[in-house]
Amino acid sequence: MNSKDEKYVKRVIPELNKQPKAKGLLDYIPDTNELSISEYTISYHTIKIKSIGKYDLEKYKELISIAIITATSDEKETVLENMEPLVNEDNILKSTIKNLTVYLGRIGLYPIILTRSESGVYSLESVFFSCEDLYSYFEPKVAILYGIAFGLKENCQNIGDVLISERIIPYERVKYHRGETIDRAPRFESSGLLKNRFKEVSDSQWDFALPNGEQAKAFFGIILSGEILHNDKVRRDELKSRFNEAIGGEMEGAGFAITSIRNDVNWIVVKGICDWGYNKGDENHKLACETAISLILTVFRDPHVFESIDIQPT
């Protein structure tokens, strides 16, 4: 809170106080009858967030070259919990770009911009359009689609292991011909630079213990992407039989890949396994988010990891 605390009044919001996670979210808000300002500070769990206007946002365009894209509340919240303020700031910064809300801070040693799109690709707030708006404003060099996914290799994967894209295949693009399903999907190749950096770190430097006592593993390979929410083993197995090399699937990767390629952005998908595409529940979402962000943090703690594309720690 700034030095003019006397201009703020205590507000009790019963609906928020009933929710344990949201309690204290807005302990103090401006009394709009007495004060008109464009900045305020709130506490989101233990995260201090400061809202800034579009003119202040302009100051950070040259500083930030890395974007992280999410699609669910758990994903966004986990990134925020692991962010630190930018140098010379006391809070995570929050602003807007068109229909997007964005957050500015540091992950590891690097300034990043974080945003959340809607799930899938078939909406005006989907990852395709969100990335277009974000890229046109900030022009990042690196973008990571982060979050949760379903695994396809139960025999060797664990809940909480991390999937990293070598390629993305939009599995819904098919031709049905005389009872046969013929795949017609393009293969989108992830950034060679990012694949290398994540492979090197996951091989030797990353360490995350899963609840079952095993160490989390990173799986590199084909990630399937489509608008269908899989929660049926028969349907999931049909998908698995069509793409027997695939390591998992999710809903936003294809739109993210297309937009990143069109804007010449180094891109990769990094998502933790939360289920197997059937018998879904929410109980493993947070674990999957935490393992994936742990791997990203390990990569981002290397001061030279992005040197070849002229991104420096700040």
Q: Give me the CATH number covering residue 42.
A: 3.40.50.1580
Average pLDDT on 205-212 reads 95
Q: Are residues 51 and 176 in the same domain?
A: yes
Confidence of residue 120 (pLDDT cuts 50, 70, 90): low
What pLDDT digit, counting tens, does each position of 211-249 carry? 999 999 999 999 999 988 888 899 999 989 999 999 999
How high is the mean pLDDT of the chain? 86
Q: Are residues 225 and 79 in the same domain?
A: yes
Confidence of residue 46 (pLDDT cuts 50, 70, 90): low
Q: Are residues 43 and 21 in the same domain?
A: no
Confidence of residue 13 (pLDDT cuts 50, 70, 90): very low
Q: Are residues 182 and 45 in the same domain?
A: yes
Count of C-beta atoms within a 10 Å radius of residue 308: 10
Confidence of residue 20 (pLDDT cuts 50, 70, 90): very low
Q: Are residues 155 and 220 in the same domain?
A: yes
Average pLDDT on 300-308 reads 97
Confidence of residue 185 (pLDDT cuts 50, 70, 90): confident
Q: Are residues 7 and 115 in the same domain?
A: no
> Is there a domain that residue 308 lies in?
no
Average pLDDT on 276-286 reads 93
> Is there a domain that residue 311 lies in?
no
Q: What is the pLDDT of residue 159?
A: 97
Q: What is the pLDDT of residue 180?
A: 77
At residue 248, φ and ψ (nearest 5 deg) are 175, -175
Q: What is the pLDDT of residue 55?
A: 94
| pTM to 2 decimal places | 0.83
What is the rounded distance in angstroms from the CA atom of residue 288 to the CA atom of residue 158? 10
Q: Where are the alpha helices (DSSP H) in the chain?
A: 14-17, 54-57, 73-81, 127-138, 192-204, 233-242, 253-262, 285-300
Q: What is the pLDDT of residue 101?
A: 96
What is the rounded distance in angstroms from the CA atom of residue 73 to the CA atom of residue 229? 17
Report how many domains make up the chain: 2
What pLDDT digit, counting tens, does each position of 73-118 carry? 999 999 999 999 999 999 999 999 999 999 999 999 999 999 999 8
At residue 23, φ and ψ (nearest 5 deg) are -60, 130
Q: What is the pLDDT of residue 252?
A: 94
Q: Are residues 22 and 77 in the same domain?
A: no
- How far CA 267 is from CA of 47, 170, 174, in Å, comes to 27, 16, 25
| Residue 1 reports pLDDT greater than 80 | no
Q: Are residues 175 and 91 in the same domain?
A: yes
Contact between 44 and 79 under an 8 Å Cβ cutoff? The reply is: no
> Is there a domain that residue 162 lies in?
yes
Q: Are residues 245 and 285 in the same domain?
A: yes
| Residue 11 reports pLDDT greater than 70 | no
Confidence of residue 125 (pLDDT cuts 50, 70, 90): confident
| Domain that residue 91 falls in | 38-302
